[in-house]
């Protein structure tokens, strides 16, 4: 009897091992096929990117870009929804085999920046350019959609392609697309950002908080103007504002734990007057970046307290407005580790790194509040460049080969996902 149970157990162990080995071989074969398809589609991906680059559209003003995206997916035979959450596009590819529903997201809005690069595909819209890589994000996702469509009979589950408008300007497009149902039925979501200041071939992400919450504040100081030669009869809004700028710097340096990342930056200081007039009004605007929600709330209150005290000491009035932007982007721990593992399978990836927390912000954070997933960076600095211009710079660009790397990592994430 003991011998029978031993042999019976051994038989099922061997059967299980055989099935797992066969499944692994199928996955490797499918990955190889996908990577080959993407290599073949790479010239088209570049062409798509350059087209979008020439015809950029600002946040919440996108008209032609979503039309182009919808037409591309419709031609592939995908189920397409337009005007999702305003100007977003959602396309679905149903695989030939049962499985989970995986969402992939790319943004497609541009920035109000005049391009300074002299390239054949430079922006044709004065004062508007793709200076953050969203043209590349859209092109790589469309290329991946076409490749996966070619092997849909072997595809398990459903892939949802979320093409999002208005990432650059809060409240952003993500929250409205979510409210309009773009995540209905989705089990997991992944997103990639081409990063022009990291070396080509690198993939970077981390479990937990990856990108900061980003808020905006405004402080309007109302003093009492007067003649520049009689300052003693005035309440100088410029002097009060200058003192306030200095006082605000003490919040992070003296009120926040040094191990808790936080930033307070004044972006503008407005007080326009004639040279011999003391200003009665000044306006400060700035941004707050945090990872901890309690720290976020604390800084919001501290700015008000310091503004009140500074203005009180000068016998001036003030108005304070604090506007919350995107929340902290927090990767699901398992999904971040999953991306780091599958990235190692993608040709073109030379190194997978644990990212440092980034003080930039992304409304991909809203998706991660609803379903598990991960966001990651793909290095896109051309090794031959002398200068890798940062994002939002008028000379911004990226190594177009990084689009192929990003598409392969996202594709590997789709084909390998089982749980």
Could you tell me if 349 and 405 are in contact, meaning their C-beta atoms sit under 8 angstroms apart? yes
Distance CA 333, CA 315 (A): 51
Catalytic residue among 57, 109, 187, 236: 109
The single residue listed with the structure tokens 């590819």 is: 93
Catalytic residue among 167, 280, 399, 400: 167
- Res 6 pLDDT > 70: no
**Sign of the C-alpha dihedral, residues 394, 65, 363, 322?**
positive
Residues, the chain: 419
Strands 188-199 and 97-107, bridge-based pairing: parallel
**Sign of the C-alpha dihedral, residues 173, 372, 72, 78?**
negative
Catalytic residue status for 236 = no
Instruction: Please give the structure tokens belonging to residue 107.
Output: 């943004």
Strands 97-107 and 156-164, bridge-based pairing: parallel
CB hemisphere CA count around 372 (13 angstroms): 14
| pLDDT of amino acid 418 | 79
Question: What H or E segment, with its residue span, contains residue 229?
Answer: none
Contacts of the segment 65-72: beta carbons below 8 A, 24+ positions apart: 65/108, 65/138, 66/108, 66/163, 66/165, 69/108, 69/138, 69/142, 69/163, 72/142, 72/145
Question: What H or E segment, with its residue span, contains residue 130?
Answer: none
- Res 169 pLDDT > 50: yes
Could you tell me if 59 and 117 are in contact, meaning their C-beta atoms sit under 8 angstroms apart? no
Residue 169 DSSP symbol:
S
Average pLDDT over residues 143-162: 97
| pLDDT of amino acid 21 | 56
Instruction: Please give the structure tokens belonging to residue 393.
Output: 């710079």
What confidence tens digit (pLDDT) does each residue in 303-331 have?
Answer: 999 999 999 999 999 999 999 999 999 99
Say how many Å lie between the first and final Cα of the chain, rounded. Answer: 37
What confidence tens digit (pLDDT) does each residue in 110-129 have?
Answer: 999 999 999 999 999 999 99
Q: How confident is the model at residue 13 (pLDDT cuts 50, 70, 90)?
A: low
What confidence tens digit (pLDDT) does each residue in 46-77 have?
Answer: 999 999 999 999 999 999 999 999 999 999 99
| pLDDT of amino acid 29 | 85
Could you tell me if 110 and 57 are in contact, meaning their C-beta atoms sit under 8 angstroms apart? yes
Average pLDDT over residues 83-89: 98
Residue 328 DSSP symbol:
P
- Res 15 pLDDT > 50: no
Q: How confident is the model at residue 19 (pLDDT cuts 50, 70, 90)?
A: very low
Catalytic residue status for 109 = yes
Instruction: Give, in order, the Cα–Cα distances in Å from 339 to each of 344, 345, 390.
Output: 9, 10, 25
Instruction: Please give the structure tokens belonging to residue 47.
Output: 């062409």
The single residue listed with the structure tokens 């790397």 is: 405
What confidence tens digit (pLDDT) does each residue in 263-302 have?
Answer: 999 999 999 999 999 999 999 999 999 999 999 999 999 9
The single residue listed with the structure tokens 């003080």 is: 359
């Amino acid at each position: 009897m003991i011998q029978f149970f031993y042999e019976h157990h051994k038989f099922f162990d061997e059967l299980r091992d055989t099935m797992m080995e066969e499944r692994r071989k199928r996955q490797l074969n499918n990955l190889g096929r996908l990577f080959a398809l993407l290599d073949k589609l790479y010239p088209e991906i570049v062409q798509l990117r350059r087209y979008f680059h020439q015809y950029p559209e600002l946040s919440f003003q996108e008209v032609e870009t979503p039309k182009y995206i919808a037409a591309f997916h419709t031609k592939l035979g995908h189920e397409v929804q337009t005007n999702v959450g305003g100007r977003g596009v959602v396309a679905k590819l149903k695989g030939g085999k049962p499985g989970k529903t995986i969402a992939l997201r790319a943004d497609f809005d541009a920035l109000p920046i005049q391009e300074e690069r002299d390239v054949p595909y430079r922006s044709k819209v004065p004062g508007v350019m793709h200076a953050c890589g969203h043209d590349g994000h859209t092109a790589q996702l469309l290329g991946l959609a076409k490749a996966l469509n070619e092997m849909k009979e072997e595809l398990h589950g459903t892939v949802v392609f979320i093409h999002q408008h208005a990432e650059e300007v809060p409240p952003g497009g993500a929250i409205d697309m979510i409210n309009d149902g773009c995540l209905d039925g989705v089990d997991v979501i992944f997103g990639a950002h081409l990063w022009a200041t990291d070396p080509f071939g690198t993939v970077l992400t981390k479990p937990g908080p990856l990108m900061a919450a980003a808020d905006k504040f405004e402080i309007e100081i109302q003093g009492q103007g007067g003649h520049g030669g009689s300052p003693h009869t005035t309440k100088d809004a410029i002097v009060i504002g200058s003192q306030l700028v200095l006082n605000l710097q003490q919040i992070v340096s003296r009120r926040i734990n040094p191990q808790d990342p936080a930033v307070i930056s004044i972006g503008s200081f407005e007080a326009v007057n004639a040279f011999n007039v003391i200003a009665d009004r000044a306006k400060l605007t700035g941004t707050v970046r945090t990872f901890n929600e309690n720290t976020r709330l604390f800084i919001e209150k501290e700015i008000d307290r310091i503004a009140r005290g500074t203005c009180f000491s000068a016998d001036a009035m003030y108005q304070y407005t604090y506007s919350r932007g995107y929340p902290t982007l927090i990767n699901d721990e398992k999904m971040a580790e999953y991306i780091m593992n599958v990235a190692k399978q993608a040709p073109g990836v030379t190194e997978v790194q644990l990212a440092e927390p980034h003080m930039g912000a992304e409304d991909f954070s809203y998706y991660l509040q609803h379903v598990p997933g991960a966001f990651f960076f793909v290095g896109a600095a051309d090794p031959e460049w002398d200068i890798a211009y940062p994002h939002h710079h008028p000379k911004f660009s990226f190594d177009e080969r990084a689009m192929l790397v990003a598409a392969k990592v996202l594709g590997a994430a789709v084909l390998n996902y089982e749980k």
